[in-house]
């Protein structure tokens, strides 16, 4: 009863603080009511996320926080800073976009929240048992790390059809690290080795999504093991945002060099990248240059693509009326041997062309996002409802893991594995749903093999 009372009081305090801040923003800033609402909702989610560190891995808050950054904060910055790239800028008026995006994000949040309403307390109950639970699973952690390294090693030699399966297996080394980190007899050298491979892989491909996400997820596990004050959490968030901003300022320059100079060695890649980072840190004025700010806002802002959809559909192409949504579910849930003539689901390039008219060049990766797909299928009101329903769908696996963690607390460690690609706000339904289902299959396969072959529970 005391915990429920504290939670209620904390919620009321949050609302009161946000209300006061909202009054100040409306009175003394140029932000519109919609922009203020979006900013306050983002702050509410960020505050909830900060308070949840040390209480499990609240993947629903991670998903909605990243969505807020890319669908709300990025567009607001584009509208109000004057940095509105002629191509990558917002294509509709602020009110038209925010009146769709903000309700869509809020309903997405509610959809993610509803399935776990009765089980949100479970992580707080089981995290105290995690250290004791993993104390007997050191060998299992080594197995997971070994499988992950083996999958990474054989991927270049495997047929293309196995790439995704091997990619999923390669992620097991990070789950193994979670087991190992909470164990008092852990091998820190192995943890450093796994993290080093993650950094080197990011530098080799000039792609940093996985590095950022796994680092973020590790912070949750770190806070489970170590009691971290709210002040330190806030400081970590501030430092984290700054480092991501620095990364964004050098990423494209580094990527252009790394992708064109294929003879660059691993050491050369590391020297080049960290040299660029050091240059930015020693010359912070470069971070404030207009070009750097434009690049950062453009990269953060997913709204420009969504507004392209709003401008293109239904004026040039009609609403899809659920076609791509149905295709995403059927392609993911129904195997080809059951439906041999099912169509291959279009990827990001095809959906960009269909819903925005933009033809992507080979090697360019863009997608319309869930919010854009919702609008492209159902329009404004239907798209908002779509976000609510998809939130419920995505949260079902989260609920399952929370309930199972009552029997085996280490199920909490598998949450990042299932949602690694789902948290990305720029991907479409087919991509996220396909990943979630296939990652679930691989997880159950691994659990079954450990139980039946190795005779151990992980």
> From the CB of residue 250, how many other CB atoms can be counted at a distance below 10 Å?
20
pLDDT digits (tens, 9 = 90+) for 369-405: 999 999 999 999 999 999 999 999 999 999 999 999 9
- Contacting residues for 122 by C-beta, under 8 A, at least 6 apart: 56, 402, 403, 405, 406
Question: What is the arithmetic mean of pLDDT over 6-12?
Answer: 75
Question: What is the arithmetic mean of pLDDT over 150-171?
Answer: 94
What is the pLDDT confidence band of residue 218, given thresholds at 50, 70 and 90? very high
Phi, psi of 427 (to 5 degrees): -90, 160
pLDDT digits (tens, 9 = 90+) for 301-345: 999 999 999 999 999 999 999 999 999 998 888 665 555 555 455
Q: What is the spatial distance between Cα 154 and Cα 298, in angstroms, rounded to a whole number?
A: 37
Question: What is the arithmetic mean of pLDDT over 223-229?
Answer: 87
Q: What is the pTM of this model?
A: 0.92
Residue 182's SS3 state is coil
Taking CA atoms, 79 is separated from 83, 145, 287, in Å, by 7, 46, 20
> From the CB of residue 150, how many other CB atoms can be counted at a distance below 10 Å?
15
Phi, psi of 55 (to 5 degrees): -120, 35
Q: What is the spatial distance between Cα 410 and Cα 414, in angstroms, rounded to a whole number?
A: 8
Q: Are 402 and 119 in contact (CB under 8 A)?
A: yes
pLDDT digits (tens, 9 = 90+) for 161-211: 899 999 999 999 999 999 999 887 667 888 999 999 999 998 888 888 899
Say yes or no to pLDDT of 8 above 80: no
Give the least confident one: 23-27, 140-144, 228-232. Answer: 228-232
């Amino acid at each position: 009863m005391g915990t429920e009372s504290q939670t209620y009081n904390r919620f009321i305090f949050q609302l009161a603080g946000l209300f006061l801040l909202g009054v100040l923003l409306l009175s003394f800033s140029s932000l519109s009511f919609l922009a203020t609402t979006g900013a306050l909702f983002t702050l509410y989610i960020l505050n909830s996320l900060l308070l949840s560190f040390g209480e499990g891995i609240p993947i629903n808050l991670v998903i909605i926080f990243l969505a807020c950054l890319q669908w709300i904060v990025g567009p607001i910055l584009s509208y109000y800073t004057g940095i509105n790239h002629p191509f990558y800028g917002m294509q509709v008026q602020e009110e038209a976009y925010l009146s769709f995006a903000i309700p869509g994000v809020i309903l997405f949040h509610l959809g993610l929240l509803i399935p776990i309403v009765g089980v949100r307390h479970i992580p707080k109950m089981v995290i105290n048992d995690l250290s004791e639970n993993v104390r007997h699973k050191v060998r299992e952690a080594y197995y997971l790390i070994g499988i992950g390294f083996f999958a990474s090693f054989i991927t270049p030699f495997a047929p293309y059809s196995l790439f995704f399966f091997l990619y999923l297996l390669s992620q097991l080394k990070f789950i193994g690290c979670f087991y190992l980190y909470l164990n008092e007899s852990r091998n820190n050298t192995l943890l450093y080795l796994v993290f080093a491979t993650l950094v080197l892989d990011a530098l080799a491909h000039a792609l940093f999504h996985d590095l950022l996400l796994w680092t973020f997820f590790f912070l949750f596990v770190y806070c489970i093991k170590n009691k971290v004050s709210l002040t330190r959490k806030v400081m970590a968030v501030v430092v984290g945002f700054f480092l991501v901003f620095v990364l964004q300022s050098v990423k494209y320059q580094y990527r252009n060099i790394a992708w064109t100079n294929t003879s660059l060695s691993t050491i050369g890649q590391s020297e080049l990248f960290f040299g660029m980072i050091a240059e930015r840190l020693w010359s912070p004025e470069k971070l404030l240059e207009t070009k750097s700010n434009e690049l950062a806002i453009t990269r953060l802002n997913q709204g420009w693509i969504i507004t392209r959809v709003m401008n293109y559909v239904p004026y040039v192409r009609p609403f899809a009326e659920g076609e791509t949504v149905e295709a995403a579910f059927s392609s993911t849930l129904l195997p080809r041997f059951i439906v041999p003539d099912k169509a291959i689901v279009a990827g990001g390039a095809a959906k960009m062309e269909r819903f925005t008219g933009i033809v992507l060049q080979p090697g360019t990766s863009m997608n319309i996002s869930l919010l854009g797909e919702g609008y492209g299928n159902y329009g404004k009101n239907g798209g908002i409802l779509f976000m609510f329903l998809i939130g419920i769908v995505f949260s079902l696996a989260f609920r399952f893991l929370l309930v199972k963690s009552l029997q085996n607390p280490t199920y909490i460690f598998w949450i990042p594995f299932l949602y690694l690609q789902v948290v990305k706000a720029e991907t479409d339904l087919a991509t996220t749903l396909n990943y979630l289902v296939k990652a679930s299959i691989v997880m159950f396969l691994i659990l079954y093999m450990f139980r039946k072959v190795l005779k151990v529970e992980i």
